[in-house]
A and B are shown apart, each in its own frame.
Chain A
Amino acid sequence: MKYLNLSALLIVTILLLTSCSNEAKKTVDPATIHTNGEIDAELTSPPYVPKPVGDRSAKKLIVKMEVLEKEGEMTDGVRYMYWTFGGTVPGSFIRTRVGDEVEFHLQNHPDNKLPHNIDLHAVTGDGGGATSSFVAPGHEKVFSFKTLNPGLFVYHCATAPVGMHIANGMYGLILVEPEGGLPPVDKEYYIMQGDFYTKGKNGDRGLQPFDMQKAIDEKADYVVFNGKVGSLVGDNAITANVGETVRLFVGNGGPNLVSSFHTIGEIFDRVHVEGGEMINENVQTTLIPAGGAAIVEFKVDVPGTFILVDHSIFRAFNKGALGMLKVEGKENKKIYSGEIRDGIYLPEGPGVQTMPSDNKVAASDIPAKSFDEQMKFGKQAYMNTCFACHQAEGQGIPGAFPPLANSDYLNADVNRAIGIVLHGKSGEITVNGVKYNSVMTKQHLSPSEVADVLTYIYNSWGNSKKVVTTEMVKKVKDAK
């Protein structure tokens, strides 16, 4: 009996010890973390993120965010009335740590038409804050919450009609770093996908109102990173240097579509799956649900332009979900042999990278009324369709694409030029004494767009200043 008692005691003690050592691993209950002092949160516009929290202690963090309803450009010539948190789509990035007490000030600008609120997925509480933050134009609401769970979380407006507020761009990301902060990296960026629904078709010019029926049907006209087509390409591309580690905070505001986030030419070394604690390694494409996020980390080993896409791929090349990470530095032929060309992805044909409307007839319902408008619309069409091959100043690419600037071939025959835009051209031609032998695909442009783009070309870069009319284009079109 005595022995039995002793051994029972021993077992209990061992159990207790084991469980104690397990307990010791666990961090403290975040709800009980004391805050120490008060700071104003640094808020940043995409693609930038605030400084890492590092090992700072938990604080009272004051976030002041302003709701602005404002007009912006979805893509060249297409305007849209965005509803924003902090003036951008996605909204300002909020960076905090576990145990912070966030005092949130939601300010609704007096010029705004509508009441708004905010639901932060990082909030444990009624409506994610929405219930306490419903605010009329010209007013401010304040509420506070304790950050209990580390991770990358979406915030969005939850005022009725919820879908419409989200579809107009009212979403963003809030990062809650763990105790001690995330491991340091060299570069961090903020990217958020969203789908947009416009009354006109993709590419139709003018101020495009939101289309509720298309949103209900989930037929997006634009799927974009950071609120508009081209927000992360060309001069807006995010950058890194060879050998650096890159961390992308990637969100998906929806409202409808799930993102297949992928970077062409990179493998994600680590992915915080769904923005949480689970780490997946060596990932090609990570799924980001609408209203969800992921933290993606990788080291860039070679220089080049790495294309960020939603690998639901027609969205990338036809609806705008395309960005660029430009990496500079020394080549490493062992890793990659070279021959990377900046921004061109040939299998899809020329020009598709920055252009949302390749495979469709972009019949615009707003024809140019004057020469000035022809030049304006023509330039938009040029930048969308012709720019990638013929370049910004019409200089072309030596050995590949003939120049349009000072072009004897172009100026010699306007009907031939119209025909080439309408029907494409292959085979050898001589331009300014230099032979070219390449393929120009048929361009899917409406007659008025062909007239505008050719007028723009003829009246730029030392060409013959010819004006091309829609009638001239129709004549050539009907002749074939």
Chain B
Amino acid sequence: MNKQIFRLLLLFLMIQPLLNAQTKDMVIIKGGQYIPLYGKKSTLVKVKDFEMDIYPVSNKDYKNFVKQYPKWQKSKAIKLFADEMYLTNWKNDVQIKDTELDNSPVTYVSWYAAKDYCECQNKRLPTIDEWEYVAMADETTKDARSKPTFNKQILSWYETPKTNENSIGSHPKNAWGVYDLHGLVWEWTLDFNAVLISGESRKDVDNDSNLFCGSASLNATDLMNYAAFMRYAFRGSLKANYSMKNLGFRCVKDIIKKDQ
């Protein structure tokens, strides 16, 4: 009898994360076309329909994850996949420090860890195109890139320290119903290093006239370019094993049509 209860409990524990990972915390992003700021092909890019987490992954979410997948606990993570800063704001393998909030975005996670987290939830990391496509939206418009106020908000966030200590969802959601793409933490993308910036942006200009950069700024009257460019520059400085204070992530999911 006891054994049976235990088994049921075990079964429940096993499927619980899957239940949590249901799409209730996700929102459908209707795909479309857009011209990204930067890339090898500065032409129209197609984005398919997909679902996106409405919040970045929180400390609490990540605690559940490492309980279930101990290989991603602070003391057990393989250094090749997560540098020594991995979960440095955690007290031990299962607890965050007292100064941290459960509801703050998880940070100090490597790309490998973030990627595995999403896969364990039956999801994946968003591509740069998917992320940027959704991040074009402000509270009312799906492409707010030409609005000066929107751009100023983003730029001013880049200059505000310690935003990683805030709670998820404390800013208004954007027109897709997604929170915190701007204003909280940077986020990992699946192909973060697909757009290579050498770190010497002036040289990047020489390499490819399609590339946009600060020194070519006179051609660009759109302030959005600056905000977005800083994101690309940031991504360009990363390696997959880096774990950083201001860098978290969220997951997305492909939409599989039922009648197919």
Contacts and interface: CB of A to CB of B under 8 A. Distances in A.
Q: Do A and B bind each other?
A: yes
B155 interface: yes
B217 interface: yes
A164 B156 CA distance: 12
B237 A209 contact: no
A294 B183 CA distance: 42
B39 interface: no
Nearest to A117: B199
Contacts of A126: 200, 203
B223 A213 contact: yes
| Contact residues of A: prevailing secondary structure | mixed
Nearest to A163: B214
Nearest to A161: B214
Given A111-B161, A111-B245, A113-B246, A163 B238 contact: no
Interface stretch (B3-11, B98-106, B226-234): B226-234
A344 B61 CA distance: 64
B177 to A, nearest CB: 26
Interface string A72-84: 0000000001000
Contacts of B160: 81
B215 A162 contact: yes
Interface in A113-138: 113-115, 117, 119, 126-127, 130-138
B76 interface: no
A324 interface: no
A189 B50 CA distance: 60
B236 interface: yes
Contacts of B237: 115, 134-136, 139
B62 interface: no
A357 interface: no
A115, A127, A165, A199 pick with most chain B CB within 10 angstroms? A115
Contacts of B156: 209
B214 A164 contact: yes
Interface string B147-168: 0000010011011111000000
B210 to A, nearest CB: 15
**Most chain B Cβ neighbours within 10 Å, of A132, A133, A161, A212:** A161
Most buried by A among B217, B232, B242: B217
Given A113-B161, A127-B202, A131-B199, A159 B245 contact: no
Given A130-B199, A162-B201, A213-B223, A137 B161 contact: no
Nearest to B201: A160
A160 B213 contact: yes
A212 B223 contact: yes
Contacts of B223: 212-213
B144 interface: no
Interface in B139-195: 152, 155-156, 158-162, 186
A160 B220 CA distance: 14
A70 B200 CA distance: 24
A127 B199 CA distance: 9
B234 to A, nearest CB: 6
A40 interface: no
B197 A111 contact: no
Contacts of B152: 199, 209
A212 to B, nearest CB: 5
B244 interface: yes
Given A110-B85, A158-B200, A210 B155 contact: yes
A138 B229 contact: no
A160 B197 contact: yes
A400 interface: no
From A126, A131, A162, A210, name the one whose CB has the most chain B CB atoms within 10 angstroms: A162
A195 interface: no
Contact of B199 (A113, A134, A210, A216): A134
B218 interface: yes
Contact of A111 (B155, B162, B186, B213): B162
Contacts of A213: 223
Contacts of A209: 152, 155-156, 159
A123 to B, nearest CB: 12
A113 B237 CA distance: 12
A199 B148 CA distance: 13
A160 B203 contact: no
Interface in A405-427: none
A119 B85 CA distance: 27
Nearest to A159: B233
Nearest to B214: A161
A138 B215 CA distance: 26
Contacts of B230: 114, 160-161
Contact of A137 (B214, B229, B244): B244
Nearest to A134: B199
A38 interface: no
B149 to A, nearest CB: 12
B198 interface: yes
Contact of B244 (A70, A71, A138): A138
11 contacts: A111-B245, A114-B158, A127-B199, A136-B237, A138-B242, A159-B233, A161-B213, A161-B214, A161-B226, A163-B214, A210-B159
Given A131-B203, A212-B226, 12 more contacts: A113-B159, A113-B246, A114-B158, A115-B237, A126-B203, A127-B202, A130-B199, A131-B198, A138-B244, A160-B213, A162-B215, A164-B226
Interface of B: 85, 152, 155-156, 158-162, 186, 197-204, 213-215, 217-218, 223, 226, 229-230, 232-234, 236-239, 242, 244-246
Interface of A: 69-71, 81, 110-115, 117, 119, 126-127, 130-139, 158-165, 199, 209-210, 212-213, 216
